Amino acid sequence: MGICRGSNNGGIKRMKFGLSLLSLSPDSASLITSSRRIVLPSSIEMASATERIPSRSVFLGVDVGTGSARAGLFSEEGRLLGSASSPIQIWKQGDCIEQSSTDIWHAVCAAVKTVCHSADVTAEEVVGLGFAATCSLVAIDADGSPVSVSLSGDERRNIIVWMDHRAVEQAERINSRRAPVLQYCGGSVSPEMQAPKLLWVKENLKESWSVAFRWMDLSDWLAYRATGDDTRSLCTTVCKWTYLGHAHMQSASEKDSHNMEARGWDDEFWEEIGLGDIIDGNHSKIGRSVAFPGHPLGSGLTPAAAIELDLLAGTPVGTSLIDAHAGGVGVMDSVPGPENCGHGSYSEADMDICHRMVLVCGTSTCHMAVSRSKLFIPGVWGPFWSAMLPEYWLTEGGQSATGALLDHVVENHVAAPFLFNRAASEGKSVFELLNNILESMVAELDVPFLAALTEEIHVLPDFHGNRSPYADPKSKGMVCGLNLDRSEKQLALLYLATVQSIAYGTRHIVEQCNSHGHKIDTLLACGGLAKNQLYIQEHANIIGCPIILPRENESVLLGSAILGAVASKSYPSIREAMRALNAPGQVIHPSKDPRLKRYHDVKYEIFQSLYKQQLSYRSMMAEALNHR
């Protein structure tokens, strides 16, 4: 298939196209690690993954989230055989949030070893491996050792975490230039993207800037650490680095991705924002070679990485995905047939993948939709070519704090200690207990439906800024309707109002996408929050769409494992692997009660008015402070 080309290529015409270098396999006897060179004794003979015939084929997915590294094993039918996790360190100081790549790699190795042991899966049976991770920024030197990105100078802290907002001012300056490349990320870069973070490091940590030899997205670094191949993913580079995937080659196909040159860098953009030095060496610091997700890297696992992971050297490793995008790959084809969906009017067009949006619900929530043509949506990231599904344009909305917001609301309430003690004694999660409290309040207060409990409480969930569709990192959270009640019931009401506000934010993103060319009528949800029945039902009622849950809970791990399945040649493409390994579970339908619809429509109007009020207050205070 040929590349989709857009008519608006103003940013492309001004590029200085560079040449890519073929990916080189690391030396089979050594591998540069975070702080030292590991040399394998020549007497150790390692069996190549290609020399063994396993009794079964198992696909391994690794996902590094904000708080832990996780590993999952999947059968050829897409069944989860087992999963394991290992915690990772995080340092937080104001807007600066940092991690250590050394610590993360140790956690990955621990999770992989644990899951293989607990699931009784041998190294020979693992035929492919894929990595996904948060879109955090990793700095390493020429030896692969960590380079500090911290004002503390701590050499361990070589990762700026995705949610770090230190670069708000740099993002504003970049956006003020209105470079043509910005039209492919919703019109502006977020401080959560890599260009503003790189500019912050250059301006504030000059020594680190001079020493850093590679700047990598975390998932790309994991793949590099495992294989020694520095090929970057179209997912990371297009979504977070302003790489123009549709300029990647004049013609290409997923099966020929190894020949694709890194032609999507807009050198003039980097020069204009003050980062011209980062493109030196034919873009070696940010990526000379870029490939579709799932493309096999190097010669697979290096001998050193194989020892650390207890796997076989040569095990195929696929080019990586950002964690949310792996969730999309792991769930987007989990759609039941018309006879099972409860939607008798479903047509073939309705079932098309371009009518779906995936909600990857974790610490934050990402909203992923694809289209065959590029759709420009103000305030929503994209269109990103081949950033999730090869040769589809990706639209990516998002909310910067969802799971993190619910944790914040609950943990900071005065009733939280009592609630946590109760939950522990009853063997339930805090959210299960809150859901039960709300159900009991419906009968106690004689309200017509559960949602009506929040009649007097309204929340704007922008406690960590607004990612979409306002694209306003300065937006703040707002709560209307507080009183002096310190009880668990009052906490339950605040929790419910916060859940609803997150759903109103998703409704806003869906409406923004549909008003600019999408035809989204079905949602699929995965991630930790998708396991909360109340959370999902409120989303279905508020947005008015059915929400399909996957058969397997660990969709991000499955998406990561699919990368390994494609790299191992078990499937010829990402989409064919998705069709084989994705599977639907429960379908949550919106309520048909017209009273409930009217109620949410009114609360949605209030939700939107809160942001308008905040803008007005912001303007009033700015005028007061600037008054002479």
Q: How far apart are CA 167 and CA 468, in angstroms?
A: 18
The pairs formed by 168-173 with CB atoms below 8 angstroms and a separation of 24 or more are: 168/95, 168/196, 168/473, 168/474, 170/196, 170/197, 170/199, 170/200, 170/203, 171/196, 171/473, 173/199, 173/273
What's the chain's average pLDDT? 88
Of the candidates 223, 59, 68, the one whose C-alpha atom is nearest the C-alpha of residue 132 is 223
Average pLDDT over residues 502-513: 98
Of the candidates 489, 501, 488, the one whose C-alpha atom is nearest the C-alpha of residue 542 is 501
pTM for the model stands at 0.85
Q: How far apart are CA 271 and CA 291, in angstroms?
A: 24
Quick check: 475 pLDDT over 90?
yes
**Cα angle for residues 88, 133, 576 (degrees, 5° grid):** 140
Evaluated on CA atoms 577, 583, 588, 592, the torsion sign reads: positive
What pLDDT was estimated at residue 17?
27
Question: What's the pLDDT tens digit per position in 270-316?
Answer: 999 999 999 988 899 999 999 999 999 999 999 999 999 999 999 99
Q: Are 199 and 218 in contact (CB under 8 A)?
A: no
What pLDDT was estimated at residue 185?
87
Q: Where are the beta strands (DSSP E) in 181-330?
A: 214-217, 232-233, 290-291, 317-322
Task: Classify burial at 68, counting beta carbons within 10 Å of its beta carbon; exposed 0-12, middle 13-18, buried 19 or more.
Answer: middle
What percentage of the chain exceeds 90 in pLDDT? 83
Question: What's the pLDDT tens digit per position in 519-535?
Answer: 999 999 999 999 999 99
Residue 48 phi, psi dihedral angles, 5° rounding: -70, 145
Q: In which band, very low, low, confident or very high, does the pLDDT at 338 lie, cut at 50, 70 and 90?
A: low
What pLDDT was estimated at residue 186?
83
Quick check: 95 pLDDT over 80?
yes
What's the topology of domain 403-519+592-626? Methane Monooxygenase Hydroxylase; Chain G, domain 1 (1.20.58)
Q: Where are the beta strands (DSSP E) in 372-448?
A: 381-385, 393-399
Q: Are 318 and 291 in contact (CB under 8 A)?
A: no
Quick check: 390 pLDDT over 50?
yes
Q: How far apart are CA 144 and CA 213, in angstroms?
A: 8
| HEC assignment per residue over 325-380 | HHHHHHHCCCCCCHHHHCCCCCCCCCCCHHHEEEEEECCCEEEEEEECCCCCCCCC
Top-confidence residue, 584 or 15: 584
Spell out the domain ranges in the chain: 58-328, 403-519+592-626
Q: How far apart are CA 512 and CA 510, in angstroms?
A: 5
Helices 488-514 and 594-626: angle between axes, nearest 10 degrees: 90
| Element of type H or E holding 133 | strand 126-133
What pLDDT was estimated at residue 248?
64
Q: How far apart are CA 385 and CA 249, in angstroms?
A: 12
**Cα angle for residues 396, 402, 406 (degrees, 5° grid):** 175
Q: First vs last Cα of the chain: how many Å apart? A: 63
Question: What's the pLDDT tens digit per position in 190-245?
Answer: 999 999 999 999 999 999 999 999 999 999 999 999 999 999 999 999 999 999 98
Helices 488-514 and 430-445: angle between axes, nearest 10 degrees: 100
What pLDDT was estimated at residue 279?
92
Q: Are 161 and 168 in contact (CB under 8 A)?
A: no
| CATH for the stretch 58-328 | 3.30.420.40
Question: What's the pLDDT tens digit per position in 29-57?
Answer: 233 333 322 222 233 233 444 455 557 99
What pLDDT was estimated at residue 598?
98
What pLDDT was estimated at residue 11?
31
Question: What's the pLDDT tens digit per position in 546-588?
Answer: 999 999 989 999 999 999 999 999 999 999 999 999 999 999 9
